[in-house]
Amino acid sequence: MTQITAETVELLDQNDELASFKNEFYVKNDSIYLDGNSLGLLSRRAEQSLLDVLNDWKEQGIDGWMGGKYPWFTLSEQLAEKLAVLVGAEANEVIVTGSTTVNLHQLAATFFEPKPGKTKILADELTFPSDIYALQSQLKLKGLNPETELVQVKSKNWMTLDEQDIIDAMTDDVALIVLPSVLYRSGQLLDMERLTKEAHKRNIPIGFDLCHSIGAVPHELSKWGVDFALWCNYKYVNAGPGGVGGIYVNKKHFTKTPGLSGWFGSKKESQFDMDHTFDAEESAGGFQIGTPHMLSTAPLIGSLSIFEEAKIERIRSKSLKLTTLLMDLLDQELKDVFKVVNPLDDARRGGHVALMHNDAARICKALKDNGIVPDFRAPNVIRLAPVALYNSFRDVYDAVHILAKIMNTREYEKYENKREVIA
């Protein structure tokens, strides 16, 4: 491999067509932020759109629902049009609403329809815990035992999944499949198109948790025929801590009655008739439950305007170049020190690089004290996510050299090898 130098990365930065977007974000001069797969940075546009909505509340009061700069009553639908581009869907197949877990409860309650001989939910043992908690709850609500009815595909290495193992688990007794698009620890990107096709061969509805892919990876949910999807918007989409999430429902399911009905899923023209007969919107909007959280939705206005300009295809291209550079530098500067556990193939990798080391927790603490913000996942994984919109190639170069200094001097040994309350 050709030696990677400071001049190498300087040339990459000079030819980076997304470089100017870094100026849109509040990036600290003395820090390199590589944790955008947990919480994206604040952009100036997101800050301004939040201030705009606050001002409408201040100036308009109740009239902000239909007036002001961004009328609240239809804001979720308007933002859904922009989010639809990121997931490859028609505008009415997407809605901005809820949180990841609430949205999974809604979709599982809707699509999990057990009947004799077909009572199981298929998931995997590497998915984010909250998804498993929700699926266990849904089984209990149907009077089923999660210990027998929740099938979790095993991993051969506790880091990645074999897609053939998932397909082999799509047996006749499975009534619903819920999988992550990208595994949160290892960054493995599943082939959603293939898995959807195999599920539908067996007449099983399938949905995906896109939390670790949306904003970093293009999707074609409608083209692939995915039944439903859910996600948060506070990682790569940069909508702020606890920012309102999103739902995708394939239009072929618009006539399904939402499993959890609420008044904001009503048809807009009749919602304020206050009738006790629920008349759902025949769109993803029908799967809303309660009143939208406007102050948690507002930053998404500014954030999505950046995605409109940057384009998700260009973001993905730069993201892959950044993670490839990161892996190449690790090989150059720290060969055999870390085990890279994310897929090396571009087509199978999400937006972050995952490193395994027995001292991962204390290494992360040392990185933070040296101005690098990583992410730790128990028991021994360091996640590094160079985000295309606000990280440069020089950021990656400097971060690896600082990591090399920490490892070569064994500086990390002065820290306790134990995670903080929040990793």
Q: Binding-site residues for pyridoxal 5'-phosphate, please? A: 100-101, 128-131, 209, 212, 234, 263, 291
Contact 111, 138 (CB under 8 A): no
Nearest to 201 by CA among 231, 230, 171: 171
| Whole-number Cα distances in Å, 119 to 71, 142, 173, 176, 378 | 43, 10, 6, 8, 32
Separation between Cα atoms, residue 120 and residue 273, nearest integer Å:
40
- Residue 358: how many CB atoms within 10 A of its CB? 10
- Residue 346: how many CB atoms within 10 A of its CB? 14
Helix axes 360-369, 393-408, angle to 10 degrees: 120
Contact 196, 226 (CB under 8 A): yes
User: Residue 175 is encoded by which pair of tokens?
Assistant: 């009534």
- Residue 217: how many CB atoms within 10 A of its CB? 23
User: Residue 347 is encoded by which pair of tokens?
Assistant: 């087509």
Separation between Cα atoms, residue 377 and residue 129, nearest integer Å:
13
Contact 377, 423 (CB under 8 A): yes
Contact 244, 99 (CB under 8 A): yes
Separation between Cα atoms, residue 164 and residue 349, nearest integer Å:
18
Mark the binding-site residues, compressed into ranges: 100-101, 128-131, 209, 212, 234, 263, 291
